[in-house]
Amino acid sequence: MVYQPDNPLIVQSDRTVLLEVASPAAEEARQLLGRFAELEKSPEHVHTYRITPLSLWNAAAGGVTPDEVLEGLRRFAKYAVPDVIRRDVAELMSRYGQLRLVRKDGLLLLEADDPVTLADLAGRQAVQKMLAHPADTATGELQDSLEIDPDQRGAIKQALLKLGWPVEDLAGYEPGLPLGINLRLNTRAGRPFELRPYQQQAVDAFWAGGSTRGGSGVVVLPCGAGKTIIGIAAMARAACRTLVLTTSVTAVRQWINELLDKTTLTPDEVGEYSGEEKEVRPVTVATYQILTHRRTGGLSLPHLFLLSREDWGLIVYDEVHTLPAPVFRATADIQTRRRLGLTATLVREDGREGDVFSLIGPKRYELPWRRLEKEGYIAAAQCVEVRVDLPADLRLDYAAAPTRQKFRLASENPAKNQVVQTLVERHRGEGILIIGQYLDQLSRLSDNLHAPFLRGSTPQAERDALYAAFRQGKVPVLVVSKVANFAVDLPDASVAIQVSGTFGSRQEEAQRLGRILRPKTDGGPATFYAVVTRETRDQEFAAKRQMFLTEQGYDYRIVHADQILEVLA
């Protein structure tokens, strides 16, 4: 057996890959794994990745070959790569592209390289009900294509993915009503504007030359890398009526401001569709919340028709990892529209990454966070976990509490308040966000620090005013609930202090770090603090929350609250 002790990877036959963090080649190996594997555990010394069918299919859709995967593993592995891994990688990746949805003579057809595989799948109950002529499969004759009910274009992709067979959708798209959208050479303020190289590459990868292989898929880039700009450039390339879906009214208005600032669109051509405004225009920007809003006592979703009512040529799903289930279901019915998903992480805590792959499209473009940091496109960041003891008078309450209540008790540990005050004082003069899950905890911090508190019930006008004051430096410290997790542009925030979170949500941790990654006017770094209660459920979930960022190459420095100023000096 070949043994290369200096290499950082141990590849195991159950498709797990162990990465030794201390190895000089660990960072290069981490970047390799990020292309085709998922991080599962990330303690201090050895990180565990898993090679999954979906991670391999996303890699294949992005042009990665089985030979590239296996050669990369071989180059960094301590021991020989097991034969079963060689077979699994080759077989699973070869499945992408074997099944194709195409349109011929007005019919939607499912084509296959192997008629026997197609016959086997056609006999499955989940597939049969989506065929236009299910009786045709009972003849026993092998066929190289089957006609699919056009209304089942999304559902057939979901069903076949669950059976272990990804479908490449080459059936094309309706063009939508044409709309001239040109990018400006200068913003309205007169500043030069052009796409960064990676932004242009992302648009090109999504569009794929206008071929049937382009026009649907996901672009994965960190917060602050300009995903909105990529969406706008894709709209200019498509030149058609466009619907943009995003997470909040604040994000809607940021999109509208960017569209008017960086394109030739006029205010009459761009509309807001939210709980406050109902404007349907050639470019309409809507919130997920309004699409999933139900009337009191009603079962219907009266605004969801917006997805299909207009002749959209492109639908942009901002923060696609947050897509609600009703929007997934509606998206399955509108597969004839081009679809662009934008996100910082494809991680979904509900496990529906497969639905993103099937209904929005595969991952088309991604760059490591650290690479963009190295090139100066996002701020350099350090992550610090500050561990706080649970006060003696709360330890018995914690021990006796039900499991779910333990997490909240530890998260709201009052000893965290002093740590936050110490950190705020240490970073005086910088833009500081204090972020948490529990409103009572955040309200107390707001009172103690004499800092404004922005929460879900804060009126939109007040939110906008607080964000503006923070950007201008008039409000140096802002306390925010989870409403600020997504799509909030706060370029001068350089410090985030997280006091509580949504259990082990990796995507939330990534989004919260993202709030401070936009490049600073002074070129300075960003600092992300996670304040957790030691030896409790809070600490256990903190380890899970950090996994995605660890995969991106961020290390959490762990310090105890009593030593924080000394250690961080």
Q: Are residues 91 and 104 in the same domain?
A: no
Distance between CA atoms of 338 and 359, rounded to whole angstroms? 11
Distance between CA atoms of 301 and 326, rounded to whole angstroms? 9
- Residue 539 neighbours by CB distance under 10 Å: 17
Query: What pLDDT does residue 447 have?
Result: 96
Q: Kindly report whether the global pTM for this prediction surpasses the value 0.85.
A: yes
In a domain? residue 157:
yes
Q: Are residues 234 and 128 in the same domain?
A: no
Q: Are residues 138 and 81 in the same domain?
A: no
Task: Please give the distance of CA 498 from its chain centroid, rounded to a whole number.
Answer: 20
Q: Are residues 385 and 278 in the same domain?
A: no
- What is the per-residue pLDDT across 153-196, written as a single tens digit (0 to 9) for each? 999 999 999 999 999 999 999 999 999 999 998 888 788 899 99
Distance between CA atoms of 112 and 349, rounded to whole angstroms? 33
* Lowest-confidence pick of 204-213, 307-316, 531-540: 204-213
Residue 522, token pair as written in the block: 């002074």
Distance between CA atoms of 483 and 232, rounded to whole angstroms? 24
Parallel, antiparallel, or unpaired: how do β-strands 493-498 and 453-454 relate? unpaired
Query: What pLDDT does residue 489 have?
Result: 67
Instruction: Among 149, 169, 189, identify where a domain stops.
Output: 169
Confidence of residue 148 (pLDDT cuts 50, 70, 90): very high
List all residues 6 or more positions away from 350 whose beta carbon is below 8 Å from its beta carbon.
none
Q: Are residues 454 and 321 in the same domain?
A: no
List all residues 6 or more positions away from 255 whose beta carbon is below 8 Å from its beta carbon.
228, 231, 244, 246, 285, 318
| 254, 228 Cβ separation under 8 angstroms | yes
Instruction: Check which CATH number belongs to the domain holding 349 and give it.
Output: 3.40.50.300
Query: What pLDDT does residue 137 have?
Result: 65
Query: What pLDDT does residue 346 have?
Result: 83
Q: Are residues 353 and 445 in the same domain?
A: no
- What is the per-residue pLDDT across 382-407, written as a single tens digit (0 to 9) for each? 999 999 999 999 999 999 999 889 99
Angle at 294 between CA 292 and CA 300, to 5 degrees: 95
User: Which of 396, 300, 317, 303 shows the shortest CA–CA distance to 360?
Assistant: 317
- What is the per-residue pLDDT across 512-560, written as a single tens digit (0 to 9) for each? 888 888 877 777 889 999 999 999 998 988 888 888 788 777 888 889 9
* Lowest-confidence pick of 120-134, 346-360, 476-490, 519-533: 476-490
Residue 396, token pair as written in the block: 């018995």
Instruction: Among 343, 367, 391, identify where a domain stops.
Output: 367
Distance between CA atoms of 360 and 330, rounded to whole angstroms? 11
Q: Are residues 483 and 423 in the same domain?
A: yes
* Angle between the N-to-C axes of helices 403-411 and 392-400, in degrees from 0 to 180, rounded to the nearest 10: 160
Q: Are residues 32 and 44 in the same domain?
A: yes
In a domain? residue 144:
yes
Parallel, antiparallel, or unpaired: how do β-strands 453-454 and 477-480 relate? parallel
In a domain? residue 188:
no
| 287, 252 Cβ separation under 8 angstroms | yes
Q: Are residues 330 and 432 in the same domain?
A: no
Angle at 133 between CA 132 and CA 135, to 5 degrees: 150
Confidence of residue 116 (pLDDT cuts 50, 70, 90): very high
pLDDT average, residue stretch 280-290 = 94
- Residue 381 neighbours by CB distance under 10 Å: 22
Query: What pLDDT does residue 569 have?
Result: 58
Count: domains in the chain: 4
In a domain? residue 179:
no
User: Which of 87, 142, 84, 86 shows the shortest CA–CA distance to 114?
Assistant: 142
Task: Please give the distance of CA 319 from its chain centroid, rounded to a whole number.
Answer: 6
Task: Please give the distance of CA 317 from its chain centroid, rounded to a whole number.
Answer: 11
- What is the per-residue pLDDT across 255-281, written as a single tens digit (0 to 9) for each? 999 999 999 999 999 999 998 889 999
Q: Are residues 335 and 436 in the same domain?
A: no
Q: Are residues 229 and 346 in the same domain?
A: yes
Q: Are residues 332 and 263 in the same domain?
A: yes
Query: What pLDDT does residue 371 have?
Result: 87
- Amino acid making up residue 119: A
In a domain? residue 176:
no
Query: What pLDDT does residue 541 have?
Result: 85
- What is the per-residue pLDDT across 245-255, written as a single tens digit (0 to 9) for each? 999 898 999 99
Structural domain containing residue 452: 376-568
Query: What pLDDT does residue 568 have?
Result: 66
Instruction: Among 68, 95, 122, identify where a domain stops.
Output: 95
Task: Please give the distance of CA 320 from its chain centroid, rounded to a whole number.
Answer: 6
Q: Is the pLDDT of residue 500 over 70?
A: yes
Q: Is the pLDDT of residue 1 over 60?
A: no
| 260, 269 Cβ separation under 8 angstroms | no
In a domain? residue 214:
yes
Q: Name 384's bridge partners.
A: 529, 557
Distance between CA atoms of 224 and 226, rounded to whole angstroms? 6
SS3 130: coil
Confidence of residue 138 (pLDDT cuts 50, 70, 90): low
pLDDT average, residue stretch 16-31 = 93
Phi-psi region of 215 (alpha: psi -120 to 50; beta: other; left: phi over 0): left
- What is the per-residue pLDDT across 482-492, written as a single tens digit (0 to 9) for each? 877 665 666 67
In a domain? residue 119:
yes
Confidence of residue 316 (pLDDT cuts 50, 70, 90): very high
- What is the per-residue pLDDT across 43-90, written as a single tens digit (0 to 9) for each? 778 989 999 999 999 999 999 999 999 999 999 999 999 999 999 999
Distance between CA atoms of 384 and 387, rounded to whole angstroms? 10
Residue 80, token pair as written in the block: 């020989």
Residue 338, token pair as written in the block: 């081009």
Query: What pLDDT does residue 223 have?
Result: 84
pLDDT average, residue stretch 280-296 = 88
First and final CA of the chain: distance in angstroms? 48
In a domain? residue 330:
yes
